[in-house]
Structure 1
Amino acid sequence: MSTLKCPTCQKPVPPRGENASFPFCSRRCRAVDLGRWLGEEYRVPERQMDEREDELPPSSHPDRHGGDA
């Protein structure tokens, strides 16, 4: 079994049962990662137009019924 590395500093990470900061190696690395998210250094990519082509237009959502229900 390979040892998990801290995503912030790449040091080995103790198992979850021994480490309250899992999957980070320390509270400091956990805080650094949170700061990066809050500072918008990490971003979830927006879906591209070709990934959206299967979606229904907002006006034709299947749960919305026009007229009498």
Structure 2
Amino acid sequence: MTTEVKCPACGRPVPWTEASRWRPFCSERCKKLDLGAWASDRYVIPGAPLDDTSSPGEKGGD
């Protein structure tokens, strides 16, 4: 028996096999739509905001 999951973007059933190239998505389109949603801040992970005062690679503290 093959496990099926729902595509996170559109809800279509996706068989969880190596033949399902875009799993857990049903297609490249759904995968890109989901990535775009993350990039445009439509999805967020709850939590306290990060301190964004230092530049990348800069060590804080002293």
> Shorter-chain TM-score category?
0.5 to 0.7
Once residues 18 and 7 of structure 1 are traced to their aligned partners in structure 2, the CA distance between those partners, rounded to angstroms, is 18
Where do residues 1-69 of structure 1 align in structure 2 (5 Å cutoff)?
A: 3-47=4-48
Please, what TM-score do these two structures have when normalized by structure 2?
A: 0.66
Does structure 1 retain, via aligned residues, the 8 Å contact 2:4–2:16? no
Once residues 17 and 44 of structure 2 are traced to their aligned partners in structure 1, the CA distance between those partners, rounded to angstroms, is 26
Percent same amino acid at aligned positions? 42
Structure 1 residue identity aligned to 2:33:
V
- Distance 1:4-1:10 versus aligned 2 partners, 3 A rule: same
CA RMSD of the aligned region, Å?
1.8
Moved over 2 A (4+): none
Q: 1:14, CA displacement in angstroms?
A: 2.4
SS at match of 2:26: coil
Please, what TM-score do these two structures have when normalized by structure 1?
A: 0.60
Structure number with higher strand proportion: 2
Q: How many residues align?
A: 48
